Amino acid sequence: MFNNTLRLLLLIFALGTVLPAPASAYLDPGTGSYIIQMVVAGVLGALFAVKVFWVRIRLFLGRVFSRGPRHD
C-alpha cells in the first residue's frame, strides 16, 4: 500500500516537473534587486544576531563540547 502510494507521488512529481504549466508572470528588473537586498539583509541580520549573543553562544558551545565533568 505504502509502496504504491509512494510510486504514485513520485510519478505525479516527475510529470509536474517535466510538463510545467505556463505561468503568466512578469518579473521586472527591480525584482532581482529586491531579492538581492533581502538576501543581504538576512545575512547581515544573522551576523548582527551572532554578534549580540556571541558571549552566550560561546559559553553554550563551551559547555556542550567540554571534555571535563559537568558541574551544574
- Per-residue pLDDT of the chain in tens (72 residues, 90 and over written 9): 678 889 899 998 888 888 877 877 777 888 889 999 999 999 999 999 999 999 998 999 888 888 766 565
Q: What is the pTM of this model?
A: 0.49
52 within 8 A of 45, measured Cβ to Cβ: no
Listed by start position, the domains of the chain span 2-64
26 within 8 A of 33, measured Cβ to Cβ? no
**Cα separation of 42 and 22, whole Å?**
31
